[in-house]
Structures are given as structure tokens and as C-alpha cells.
Amino acid sequence: MSRVTPDLSFLLDKTSESLTARMSAALADLGLTARQYCVLDKASGGEHTQGRLAEEALLDKTTMVTTLDGLERAGLARRVASPTDRRARLVEITPEGEALIERAATVIQGVYDEVLGVLGDERDALVTGLTRLVEGPLRETASDARPRRSSRTG
Amino acid sequence: MSRVTPDLSFLLDKTSESLTARMSAALADLGLTARQYCVLDKASGGEHTQGRLAEEALLDKTTMVTTLDGLERAGLARRVASPTDRRARLVEITPEGEALIERAATVIQGVYDEVLGVLGDERDALVTGLTRLVEGPLRETASDARPRRSSRTG
DNA sequence: TATTGTTATACTCTATAACTATA
DNA sequence: TATAGTTATAGAGTATAACAATA
């Protein structure tokens, strides 16, 4: 019935929304949001400034502020002064944070396995394809092709 | 670096968000939002009540209300009384709406082709995989696994 | 003058709850 | 008592703009 075959944007929207809902429900038991887990995971095992972390997680810097506020309140991460740039903050995961990442990863892997279980050969291709889209044609889109505020006229 | 390999939810979120941004930008010239196009497309070529249309587009009924309000204001669709159920409304696409769908479909096909162009063999598998996820394990999620309002405790 | 991070604000999407009118 | 649709409202996610401190 669709004139555009198939409706890729619809499929991505609905799978994304639905999977995020599952993740959120599963992580809620651990007191984590999906975004907090994402940031926690990317921050772990390396030194990252707040800004660098935002880039990796493809989040706006203001979104990163509130995300880190939450993680700090929960005692899972800390902002520490960068020794080389007094404007910047390094994000440090606490031992509690590291421990929780491990538990969360197990939970998430369970969700993924359950969801992806219905796929056969498509499983790898799906992941590969999405990765190539994120790193390729959909990479720079964030600040270019997006009509954000109504004030962004030009 | 990710403990869960790979981060499917992250990939879906970002591709979805980015592609929606592209679609919105492309459709803005036609005065359409991505969601309006989606509903318009699904409503065309068949008789659908408002509620049935919401199911097909995987939208909440309240979201459908505002979407149809916009489409009616733009003269692209009409709500007409159902002859068999006086509670229900049938959604009817106007000639202007039908014409616009055709133009929008061309625009969208262009975006898809451009974006999916980087994929080779994964292209079909990606679409097939997403479709199976939407129709399968991610289908009923909407009202089950989702922690919506904070009031939805049980 | 540019950049890191913050605050305040606002817009979009989505959904819950309460309601009307039918069934 | 249940369902179709509406209204009002609220929450999450995201982003713009203005700002402070530093580069």
C-alpha cells in the first residue's frame, strides 16, 4: 500500500522507540535510564572530557550536562577537573558505576538476544547496515539537515 | 569498547533520529511533517476509521487526533461520519492530499535512495530485519514493557 | 575571538486521565 | 459496561541562546 517501498523511516522509528521502551523497563530495576547506561558505557575504560563524551554518544552538550548530573547524583560518575585545560571536565566512573555497568550489560544483552532471536541471517546484516548508516550518510545530519527550532530559518 | 556488542538501541535511536531529520527537512518544502506523510500514506487507498489508522501507524489515538487536525487544516484530509457507527470517523484523503502524497513519495524515495546507497547486500536484509522486528518481538511492546507515566506503577 | 561547560528556556513527540457520545 | 474520539495536561527528549570561565 505504501508508495515508497518500504517505509524505512517508519520502521526505524518504531523499532527504536519500542526497543528503547524495553531497555528502559529492564534497566529501571537497576535505577538506570537507557541514556545513562549509554553514557556510562562509553565513558568507562578511558579518559574523556564531557564534550568528547557527548560526541561519542551523539548527544548535545546540554543533554550531556543533565545526564551527568543524574549519574553524579546516583554516585555512578564524577566530574573531575582536567589537568591540562581548566575549562574542561573529565568524566570518571566510580567503582559503583563500573559495577553497575557490568550488571546492566548483562540485562541489556538479554534484551538484545531476545529481540534479535527472531532474526536469522539478517541479524549481522542489520547491525552492519545500521552501523554503516550512522557512520556514513546519517552522520553529519544532526546539525545540518534538521529543522530544529522555528527560529532556525536560514 | 562496548560491553554489549554492538549497541543496537543506540544504532536504532541515532539512525531513526537522523533519518527523521532528513525526511522532515525534505518534506518541509511541501508543508508536510514526517508523521503527517506517514498517516496520509496509510490512509490513502482504503477506508479507515481514525482508530484503525492509529493502529496501522502505531500511533496513540490522541496523537492521531492532532495529526488529523493538522491534515484537515491543510486541506489534505477530511473526517467524515461513519455510516455504520455514529461514534466513528472515517478518514478521507482530499484530491489535494492525494496529489501531495505523490509528490512527497518522490521526495522521500530520493532521500531513501541517497541514504541507502551506501549499503550493498545489507540493504534488503536491513529492511527485512527491521520489518520482522516490528511485526515480531517489538510489536506488543508499546503498551506492555514501556514505563510511561510515573503513575503507571503496576 | 573561540571553546568548555552551565543555566534557562522552549519545542516536539508521546502518552495518561477524564470526558462526551454513542454502542 | 465498553468503545470512538476529544480535550487537557504532563513527561521525556532534545536543542537554541545567553552566559561564565578559560584558552
Q: Which residue has the cell 508523521?
A: B35
pLDDT tens-digit series, residues B98-139: 999 999 999 999 999 989 888 888 888 999 999 999 988 887
pLDDT tens-digit series, residues A95-118: 999 999 999 999 999 999 989 888
Reply yes or no on whether the pLDDT at B6 is more than 80. Answer: no
Q: Contact B16/A19, CB-based, under 8 Å?
A: no
How many angstroms separate the CA atoms of A94 and A142, rounded? 31
Q: Contact A3/B101, CB-based, under 8 Å?
A: yes
- Supply the pLDDT for residue A139: 78
pLDDT tens-digit series, residues B67-87: 999 999 999 999 999 999 999
- Supply the pLDDT for residue B88: 97
- Supply the pLDDT for residue A102: 94
* pTM, rounded to two decimals: 0.87
> Please, which contacts does B84-90 make with residues 24 or more away whose CB atoms are closer than 8 Å?
B85/B49, B88/B49, B88/B50, B88/B51, B89/B49, B89/B50, B90/B47, B90/B48, B90/B49, B90/B50
- A–B CB contacts, 8 A cutoff, strictly below: 209
Reply yes or no on whether the pLDDT at B4 is more than 80. Answer: no
- Measured in angstroms, what separates residue B62's CA from nucleotide D6's C1'? 8
- Measured in angstroms, what separates residue A19's CA from nucleotide D5's C1'? 29
When the pLDDT of each residue in chain A is averaged and rounded to a whole number, the result is 86
* Residue lying closest to nucleotide C10, CA to C1': A149
What does DSSP assign to residue B48? E
Contact with chain B for residue A66, Cβ under 8 A: no
Which nucleotide is closest to the Cα of A152 by its C1'?
Answer: D16
Disruptive mutation site among A42, A133, A135 for chain B (greatest number of B CBs within 10 Å): A133
How many angstroms separate the CA atoms of B81 and B88, rounded? 7
Residues linked to residue B78 through DSSP beta bridges, in sequence order: B92
- Supply the pLDDT for residue A35: 95
- The mean per-residue pLDDT over the stretch A16-41 comes to 93
Q: Contact A15/B130, CB-based, under 8 Å?
A: yes
Contact with chain A for residue B113, Cβ under 8 A: no
Reply yes or no on whether the pLDDT at B146 is more than 70. Answer: no
**Helix (H/G/I), strand (E/B), else coil: A78:** strand
Which amino acid is it at B66? T
